[in-house]
Every structure is written in structure tokens, then in C-alpha cells.
A and B are shown apart, each in its own frame.
Chain A
Amino acid sequence: MEKTVKRQNRISRFNNAEKIILVILLAVLAAYALSLILMFGWAIMSSFKTPNFYRKHIIEFPEPITIENYVNAYSNFYLRSDDVTSRVIGFGEIIMNTLLYAVGCSFLQTLSCCVMAYATAKYAYKLSKIVYTTVIIVMILPIVGSLPSEVFVLKRVLHLYDTMAGSWFMSFNFLGMYYLVFYEFFKSMPKDYNEAAEIDGAGRYTVLLRIVFPLTRNMFFTVMLLKFIVYWNDYQVPLVYMPGHPTLSYAVFRFMSIAKDGWSNVTQKIAGAMLVFLPVFVLFVIFHNKLIGNVTMGGVKE
């Protein structure tokens, strides 16, 4: 009942002109939703068509329905390396690369942001202020074309080019929005927890590991999940920095652009794309409340 009253109140505040704007806005949003649903619906439908049927009936329902595209997309999920050996890189190795890359990079980046934010939020040294200001400046400072130099440094200085360790090292980076999210969280965290533990004789590392990290667990997990999805979906970094360690997204890019690799026809490519999307979609279905509702600039919303 209360809900009904509230809703009526909200609607009654719109005058006629605003109601028209509201209807237009609703129409735009509905069109957006429809375009997304139609496109994915069409893609799912196409993935169950035979290649011959697809060629003549692009928008019709599949007849007969076949899972052959999925089977073929899976069995042809391999690449040939670009080096002289031209060795076959199979699905298992690609999955392993993807997991090492996505889990490793998302964990290390989140850890770097979290640890740096904790240190700079809790200890008011000059360096803390410099770090905070640097993060803000770097966010708006346009650096164009540092890519060649990054490759140069990885190859010639660090000798980590085309290695998983190189991508992990690059990801151990505290710059960006999530540092600020953690920073605000630690700034607003009461000092009582730390002080009580210290009176009980706990050292700084014990406080960090036993008190601070468990309190941050929720936000740490959400940020890591968001980063995991970014790394899982990324193909451009592996393509440039570790071409010898293809990930799933990188493989899909190769299948799209290089005819000698993997998937040969449209329906197989669409089915393969669905296979790659599936794990992320499952994660999203399970954790959508965390992903959509948890992180704001001011910290975490419980």
C-alpha cells in the first residue's frame, strides 16, 4: 500500500511536458533493450543453424536445429603459433593461459590498489599525499602512444616480453579509479579496530591480515571480479605483449581475422563466440547484485 502511495506521489510530480519526455525516454530504453535482446536472440538462433541453411535463411528459425557448430567450434579451438615451429596450441593450453592471465592479473591489480590505498590512507606521510595526488593527475593526464615504449621496456630492460610474468608485472598497478575506492573505504574505517588489536599485542602485519583484509573482503572480491571480467575479455594486451600465450579472447580474434586458424564459417564463429561468453555470463548471473550494486566512489554499499 505504502509502495503504491509512493509511486503515485512520484508520478504526480511530472507535469504534462515531462510526462512526454518520460515516455520518450522509456521508448528509447525499450528500443535499446530490444536491440540487445534481438541481436543476441538472433545470434543464439544462428548458432543452431547448419551453414547451408544460414546462407539462405539468415533471419529465419533454424531447421533442422543442430549443435554441430558448438561441437566443431570446440574441436577446432586451436591456434598455430606465429614462430617458425608453427606448433599447435590446443584448447587446454588456451584455457590455462586465460585462467593464469585473468586470475593472476585481476588479483595482483586489486592487491596493489588495496595495499597502496591502505598505506596511504592510514599513514599521513608526505609520500602518501604525493601518491594520492599522482593517482588523480594520472587519471586526467593524457599520455598518447606509450605503447611502443612499454614493449621496448618489457623486451630490452625487463626481459619479460611474451611471458606471463610480464603481464602480471604490468597489472600490478595501483593507478586508477579502484585505488580511490579503496582509499575512501580505509579513510572511513574507524581507528578503534586497529588500536584495540594493537593494545592486545597484535603487530602491524597481524592487524592487516587478521582485521583489515577480512573487513575489505567484500569490496576486494567485487573489484577483483570486475577486473577478472576485463582481463578475461581482453585480447589486445595478450596480442601485443604475450603473443606466444594466447588467451580465449585472443584466439577468437585470430579466428575472426586469420583464415588459417580455427573456425571456418559464420555459424561456427557465432557458436564459438557464445562458448567464450558463457563463463562470464554464468559469473554475471551468480554475482550480478555484487557487480551492479557494490562499488561507488565513496566505497562499498552493503
Chain B
Amino acid sequence: MEKTLKKPSENRGMANRKRRDMAFYASLVALPLIQFIIMYIVVNFNSVLLSFQFYNGETSNYEFLPLNDFFRNFARIFDDIGRGTENSMYLAMAKNSLYGFLATLVGVGLSMIFSYYVFKKMFGHNFFKIILFVPSIIPAMVSVIIFNYFANSAVKDVVVKIFHGSMEYGLLSNPDTKLGTILFYNVWIGFGTQLLMYVGAMNNISDSMLEAAQIDGASALREFVSIIFPCVYSTFSVFVTVAFAQIFVNQLSLFSFFGTSASELSTIGYYIYKQVQGISKDGEFNSVAALGILCTIIILPITLGVRYLLRKIGPSVD
């Protein structure tokens, strides 16, 4: 009886508590959600709209293209691609983007091996951990300035004065070595965050598992293949998936090195940034937006497919 009498007030209390929880929750998530809606959903939706619009200089407005020419911004890109691999600007940029992607994959693999070295606390592990991390705190422009003069002037001087060889151009001035040097630079400065994540994942592996393997006489290679790699596989697959997702975003630090004149080294990511940066007023955003949409359409299924495959073929932690 007493219970029945208490029920309405208890219910009211619960309802009040739920309402207060809800209000508190809403007050926390409201602002970040508004930011997300504007800067992600609206921005990307608008990106699709822009790719079907043109800038009318007379009215200073973006207007939709006429129906008979609705795909004009895309048609320009396809016209260029139709010129073939030798003459197409977009295909040349896509090729450079793929080189950048391969360099990223090399970095992902090397980071894992270096992390294993650090995790196993082998000779000089603390020193190497700091050294590998340092480039990620150096401002891009600072490392580019120093690397630029080092690769172009100091290396040349070393070859000529110390090794008595001949070198006509610096590494970044010689067309034959330019791309290779840029790819090397991007791998060279990119270990920091990956190293932290891999070592963090390796540190989460239980000591008992490693000790059991040691008692069973497992070699280091066996330990790496059978325990370490399966345990860090999820981290590895995130890096590989992100590498795919970033193929057409990666700028290869070209803007830092060459400003707007990277010409034959251009990647899609660099081109988009260069175009947008160069538009000082309300200019021609539309063809760049169309290029972005097209690249997203190409890379989206590839990235999702890669993610699916990585999950499917990955080693089992069990």
C-alpha cells in the first residue's frame, strides 16, 4: 500500500531527473553539434552544389548551370583526362598522388618496425624514440627551409668537396631527383604520431602472453608475426585505410617547398589547395569543387573496400 502511495512522487522524481539529465546533455553537445552541422554537413552539401554552379560576375552570385550544360564543371575534367596520360594534367597529378600514397605506405611499414625496436627496449631505444618524434614538432616551414638548402646546397658541396665527385644540380633542382627527394622528405618527417600509436598499442599487450611465448622458445621474428602484429593490426589497418582515404588529399609538402610553382610535381591535394588559396575574392570555386567531388566518388568505394578487406583478411588476436 505504502509502495503504491509513493509511486506517483517517485515517478515524478524520475521524470524530473531524466529531464534534467536531458537538459544537461543537450547543453554539452549543442555547440559542438552545431559546429559539426555547419562545418561538415553544410560544407560538404554545399560542395556538391558548387560543382553544379558557376560564378556570375555581373550579379556576384553563384548560380546553377543551365540544364543543357549542367555537368560543365565535370566535363572540363573529363575533356582533360581524355587527352591521355601524356597530355592530361589531372592524370599526371593523380600519378604523383599515387607515388605519395606509396611513400605513405612505406612510412606505415617502417614505423611499425621502428616501434617494435623501441617496444623491445633495444639498444638506444629512448634516444631513437625522441629522435623519431622530433620532426613532428618542427614547423613545416622550418624543416622545409632547412631541408631545401641542405638538399640543394650542402649535399652538393659534400659530394664535390669531400667525395671529389661532380654534381651539377642540387637534389631539389635536378628534375631526375626532385620527385624522389620530395617523397623521401615526406617519409623522413612522418614517423612521430605513428610511432606513438604503435608503441602505445604494443604496450597494451599483456606481459604474460609475451612471457609464455618466451618460455615456449619463440624467436623474435615468431613473436612479432604471431603476437605483436595481430595485436597492433587494428592500428595498422587504421593507418592503411587512412592512407587510402588521403590519396587525393596528400599535398606532399609541395606548397611549403615550391609555393604555387610545383608544376610537374603537383598532386591533386596540392592543386586543390593552390587553386583555393589563389582565389582572393569570390572566384571560380566551382571547377575545384567538381574535382573534389569526382575524387571522392573514386576513392570512397576503394577506401571502404580496403577497410572491408583488411578486416576480412586480418590475423586473429585469439
Cα-based distance from A248 to B141 in the complex (angstroms): 10
Query: Interface digits, A209-253 against B, CB 8 Å rule (1 contact, 0 not)?
Result: 000000000000000000001001111100110000000110011
Verify if B47 is at the interface (C-beta below 8 Å from A): yes
User: Are A151 and B292 closer than 8 Å at their CB atoms?
Assistant: no
User: Are A26 and B123 closer than 8 Å at their CB atoms?
Assistant: yes
Cα-based distance from A276 to B143 in the complex (angstroms): 11
Q: Across the two chains, which residue of chain B brings its CB closest to A35? A: B188
Verify if A152 is at the interface (C-beta below 8 Å from B): yes
User: Are A150 and B43 closer than 8 Å at their CB atoms?
Assistant: yes
Cα-based distance from A121 to B187 in the complex (angstroms): 36
Instruction: Tally chain A residues at the interface, Cβ within 8 Å.
Output: 95
By a beta-carbon cutoff of 8 Å, the part of chain A in contact with chain B is 9-10, 13-15, 18, 21-22, 25-26, 29, 32-33, 35-36, 39-40, 42-43, 46, 58-59, 82, 112, 115-116, 118-120, 123, 125, 127, 131, 134, 138-153, 155-158, 169-170, 172-175, 204-205, 229, 232-236, 239-240, 248-249, 252-253, 256-257, 266, 269-270, 273-274, 276-277, 280-281, 283-284, 288, 291-292, 295-298, 301
By a beta-carbon cutoff of 8 Å, the part of chain B in contact with chain A is 20-21, 24-25, 28-29, 31-33, 35-36, 38-40, 42-44, 46-47, 50, 62, 113-114, 117, 120-124, 127-135, 137-142, 144-147, 149-150, 153-154, 157-158, 161-162, 188, 196-197, 200-201, 203-204, 214, 218-221, 223, 235, 238, 241-242, 244-249, 255-256, 259, 268-269, 272-273, 275-277, 279-280, 282, 285-286, 288-289, 291-293, 295-296, 299-300, 303-304, 307
Q: Could you show 16 A-B contacts with beta carbons less than 8 Å apart? A: A18-B221, A29-B128, A59-B157, A59-B162, A138-B40, A140-B245, A140-B304, A141-B303, A143-B296, A144-B295, A145-B293, A149-B289, A234-B140, A249-B141, A252-B142, A273-B141
With A144-B299, A149-B285, A292-B133 already in contact, 11 other A-B pairs whose C-beta atoms are closer than 8 Å: A59-B158, A118-B28, A145-B292, A145-B293, A149-B44, A170-B39, A173-B39, A248-B139, A277-B139, A295-B200, A298-B200
